[in-house]
Structure 1
């Protein structure tokens, strides 16, 4: 670890400097979408609200006015900030083209787990976040899922302090950047192979210096379909045609 994970927010802001203007913001049920020079995504907050004071004022703003929101403790501001950062970074990053496209025999939103299944069998694996359909892999691999709202055999996210230092593999949702849990979770996962994953993932090579071994983000496959699916409340459906998972090893 050459860069402390707490510096992730400085890295993101330094890497997303742009003169582009915001063209559109959509806050869908599952995903938040930002259109500027490119398209950026972040998982939407789980708590609905009717009192967003800046609604109707964001289009036409400089992207830098919104990227700074990633530091906010307000979940909606942080989400929009992260989506804006990805709109700036992911549209120009060469890593997206270098990354291996993934396909799935079952569900496209689980393509990352299907890809790693031969490597994680018999290993101690911790997954941050309950992914829809993940249970189909729990018999083939020794998976422990940490969740803020645990169900069934899930453990509460506070178990991270005990489980992550002993894990062989950790699958970490990039939404952890927006909700500010990224620094501590990465610190705890230094002994594991760490996969940063999901549409929120920024394609930045410097993440390897923080201890991330793999980036498992997305490439925009069909922008119009993606936008419509998000606007109509889509969650996992964006993986069917809007985006495609891609994976790149960035550190040993």
Structure 2
């Protein structure tokens, strides 16, 4: 069994050592980091203290330094780390992102991902990590269980993952699990299922297949300027009204795509 830090080591290795964070925004719903070649997103924690010691000091720091924060357990530092990782990975040169299938359909926002996969979910046991408003109506008639840290009516608490994920046929796993450190365990429990890693904070990295991820459902940034404005003005699902759009990549079909962007970690001498 690999260490739970393996995925975090992998992500850190994708960040160029000399790149600099050009801008960081901690929005109400989304956090953004802009690097020299790309912009990364991550979901902002639900509550922010008034005394963030590093506020006003992040722009201009090495991107690799901020990406290293993804290993931290402070929720705000971890999401900045994920946004920095995504700024390095999710660039115009990323072959997975460039070749991903645009998600078309009438369902808005995050629901577009579930609408995309709905035909494959009939007769399957589906587990969704996290509550998405409107999901029940969209997937009505299907066998769907939602696991939620603060469960609402019909949801189950997140400890139920230990029992339900090994028996699931499909699992939809939020990219926020990378920041809150639940990804390693949730991915391990979902090994027998078809697993979708989804959300605007998804790194477009094919090496997620090694952790049992079958599909990446992330976003392409269509209007970076409007994205920054919407995020700064408290936008949540408004991000999908022009600035970003979902795409899906089937990791099993990427045989001709490099397994991961080139590592920027120093090579080790042979022994």
| TM-score tier (shorter) | over 0.9
**C-alpha separation in 1, matches of 2:31 and 2:212:** 27
Q: Report the more deviating stretch, 100-109 or 198-207.
A: 100-109
Whole-angstrom CA distance in 2 between matches of 1:132 and 1:27: 23
Give the TM-score of the pair, scaled to structure 1: 0.96
Name 1:16's counterpart in structure 2. 15
Q: 1:4 Cα deviation (Å)?
A: 6.2
Q: Does 1:93 align with 2:94?
A: yes
Aligned to 1:172: 173
Q: Distance in 1 between matches of 2:153 and 2:48?
A: 25
SS of alignment partner, residue 248 of structure 2: strand
CA distance in 2, matches of 1:190, 1:168: 10
Query: Which position in structure 2 is the counterpart of 1:190?
Result: 191
Cα deviation, residue 16, structure 1: 1.7
Alpha-carbon distance in 2 for matches of 1:175, 1:16: 19
Deviations 1:120-164 (Å, cap 9, x if unpaired)? 012100000111221222313211111111111111111000000
Matched, 1:69 2:103: no
- TM-aligned CA deviation for residue 48 of structure 1: 2.0
Q: Which has the larger radius of gyration?
A: 2
Structure 1 stretches of at least 4 aligned residues deviating more than 2 Å after TM superposition:
3-6
Counterpart CA distance in 2 for 1:199 and 1:4 is 26
Q: Provide the rounded CA distance (Å) in 2 between the counterparts of 1:80 and 1:25.
A: 8
Q: What does the per-residue CA deviation read over 1:25-65, in whole Å, with 9 as the maximum and x for residues that have no partner?
A: 11111110111121000000112211100001111111111
2:203 match = 202
Q: Report the count of equivalent residues.
A: 251
Question: Are the aligned partners of 1:4 and 1:210 in contact in 2 as well (CA < 8 Å)?
Answer: no
- For structure 2, the 5+ residue unaligned runs are 254-271
Q: Matched residues in 2 for 1:246 and 1:206: separation?
A: 17
Which stretch has the larger CA shift, 14-23 or 212-221? 14-23
Partner of 1:81: 81
Paired residue secondary structure (2:61): coil
TM-score (ref. length: structure 2): 0.89
SS in 2 for 1:132: coil
**C-alpha offsets along residues 168-212 of structure 1, whole Å, 9 cap, x if unaligned?**
000000110000000000000001000000011101111111110
1:114 matches 2:118: no
Q: Tell me, yes or no, if the aligned pair for 1:112 and 1:245 is still in contact at 8 Å.
A: yes
